[in-house]
Amino acid sequence: MSATRLSYAAAACLALENAMRDDARVIALGEDVGRGGIFGQYLGLQEKFGATRIIDTPISESTIMGAAVGMALSGLVPVVEMRVADFAMCAMDEIVNQAAKARYMFGGQGRVPLVARLPIGVWTGSAAQHSQSFESWFTHVPGLVVVTPATPQDNHDLLCAALACGDPVIYMEHKELWGLVDEVTPEARLPIGVARTLKTGSDITLVSWSRTVHAALEAATLAAAEGIRVEVIDLRTLWPWDRDAVLASAARTKRVLVVHEAVQVAGFGAEIAATVAETLGVRVKRLGGLRIPVGYAKPLEDEARFGATEILQSIRAFVA
């Protein structure tokens, strides 16, 4: 298989392009998709497939999502562009009460194979209404699949998997990963629900996803210089999440630290921590965002962020 260097945005664009070429049912709709999307994640696709498959819409998230649900029930496979996850709050009824429940309420006669792209995370200089992470909202809803890719390769492979899923997928790319460049093998495929162990270790298991994975790896490298052997797991998908991988690692290290950018209070890290504690009885801790709005001024924004330094401090305190 051949590899090429692609950005996080370009990798997803390639996955969508190939899916649209292979399956005429695949379409995309949302604001600014015709000009390539605000992050370049649809760049060139309208020129290749036309305005009837890469569809620019009015500024109305509920309308966009409602139309996509109807399209999916009618046999299409829509990719729904919400621009950022924060804006999807205007389409919660369509996501939670319509897309997520249709298969169950129609006894399997109607399915909603849509992919809703909801970019998450703190977005530099974008303040409180453009810097939120809502993973736990959607993992709480029966019927939804939740995906959180951290690398260009995973953004390619998991978008392919999401398009083939057959159920509504909340696809949460990070707003500050779009320019990340790495090797991508376009022929590769990855099933939903499989975590990846990025670094092996025996002293503590560090579980994360999305952009925080990169800070976790950096912290693990710093910890290694101090003789602390950290195992790092990227969940990649939050529902379903790879319980077996996390529990197997936790059983060996006896310590689990879950780290995520989303607000720590009621974050998805609590689900992982509770599962590990209830199943194995080993020590668990969490590190997440503060329960504060993200400020526009840089000093205030910095208060809402944490990185490798803070993760390393939590590791040190845990293994001491």
Reported as a single tens digit per residue, the pLDDT across 16-57 is 999 999 999 999 999 999 999 999 999 999 999 999 999 999
Average pLDDT for 225-235? 98
Of the three residues 184, 209, 233, the one that is the final residue of a domain is 184
108 and 214 co-located in one domain: no
45 and 179 co-located in one domain: yes
Q: Is residue 262 one of the residues assigned to a domain?
A: yes
Q: Is residue 138 one of the residues assigned to a domain?
A: yes
Residue 152 pLDDT greater than 80, yes or no? yes
Number of domains in the chain: 2
Phi-psi region of 83 (alpha: psi -120 to 50; beta: other; left: phi over 0): left
Q: Is residue 56 one of the residues assigned to a domain?
A: yes
Average pLDDT for 64-76? 98
Q: Is residue 247 one of the residues assigned to a domain?
A: yes
Give dist(CA 253, CA 205) in Å, integer.
6
Q: What is the pLDDT of residue 199?
A: 98
113: cis peptide before it, omega within 30°? no
Q: Is residue 191 one of the residues assigned to a domain?
A: no
Of the three residues 121, 150, 184, the one that is the final residue of a domain is 184
107 and 177 co-located in one domain: yes
CATH classification of the domain holding 19 = 3.40.50.970
26 and 131 co-located in one domain: yes
Average pLDDT, the chain: 97
27 and 172 co-located in one domain: yes
Whether 130 is catalytic:
yes
Q: Please enumerate in sequence order all residues whose Cβ is within 8 A of that of 85, keeping only pairs 6 or more positions apart, or say none.
A: 118, 119, 120, 132, 133, 134, 172
Average pLDDT for 62-71? 98
155 and 207 co-located in one domain: no
Give dist(CA 280, CA 101) in Å, integer.
33
Distances (CA, A) of 29 to 42, 266, 282: 10, 32, 46
Phi-psi region of 171 (alpha: psi -120 to 50; beta: other; left: phi over 0): beta
Q: What is the pTM of this model?
A: 0.97
Distances (CA, A) of 272 to 24, 250, 252, 265: 39, 11, 16, 13
* Cβ pair 32, 54 in contact under 8 A: no
Quick one: DSSP state of residue 184? E
Residue 180 pLDDT greater than 80, yes or no? yes
User: Which has more pLDDT, 305 or 1?
Assistant: 305
Report the percentage of the chain scoring pLDDT > 70.
100
Q: What number of other Cβ atoms are within 10 A of residue 243's Cβ?
A: 14
CATH classification of the domain holding 229 = 3.40.50.920
DSSP H helical ranges for the chain: 8-22, 45-49, 61-73, 92, 102-105, 135-139, 152-163, 212-224, 243-253, 268-280, 298-304, 308-319
Q: What is the pLDDT of residue 12?
A: 98
Q: What is the pLDDT of residue 274?
A: 98
50 and 155 co-located in one domain: yes
Q: Please enumerate in sequence order all residues whose Cβ is within 8 A of that of 261, keeping only pairs 6 or more positions apart, or say none.
A: 120, 121, 122, 133, 210, 211, 212, 288, 289, 305
123 and 165 co-located in one domain: yes
Which residue in 130, 156, 214, 260 is the catalytic one?
A: 130
Q: What is the pLDDT of residue 16?
A: 98
121 and 240 co-located in one domain: no
107 and 212 co-located in one domain: no
Q: What is the pLDDT of residue 166?
A: 96
- Residue numbers of the domain that contains 49: 4-184
Residue 69 pLDDT greater than 90, yes or no? yes
Q: Is residue 189 one of the residues assigned to a domain?
A: no
Closest to 96 measured CA to CA, from 134, 138, 63, 133? 138
Average pLDDT for 135-163? 98
DSSP H helical ranges for 140-286: 152-163, 212-224, 243-253, 268-280
Tokens of 27: 């379409």
- Kindly give the pairing relationship between strand 196-199 and strand 54-56: unpaired
Q: Is residue 97 one of the residues assigned to a domain?
A: yes
Q: What is the pLDDT of residue 232?
A: 98
Q: What is the pLDDT of residue 112?
A: 98
Residue 1 pLDDT greater than 80, yes or no? no
202 and 177 co-located in one domain: no
Q: What is the pLDDT of residue 295?
A: 97
Closest to 17 measured CA to CA, from 79, 86, 75, 61? 79
Tokens of 236: 């990649």
Q: Is residue 190 one of the residues assigned to a domain?
A: no
Phi, psi at 257, each rounded to 5°: -115, 120
**Residue 160's pLDDT band (cuts 50, 70, 90):** very high
21 and 151 co-located in one domain: yes
Q: What is the pLDDT of residue 2?
A: 85
Of the three residues 132, 160, 184, the one that is the final residue of a domain is 184
Q: What is the pLDDT of residue 202?
A: 98
Residue 124 pLDDT greater than 90, yes or no? yes
Q: Which residues of 87-109 are buried (b: 16+ CB within 10 A; e: fewer)?
A: bbebbbebbbebbbbbbeeeeee
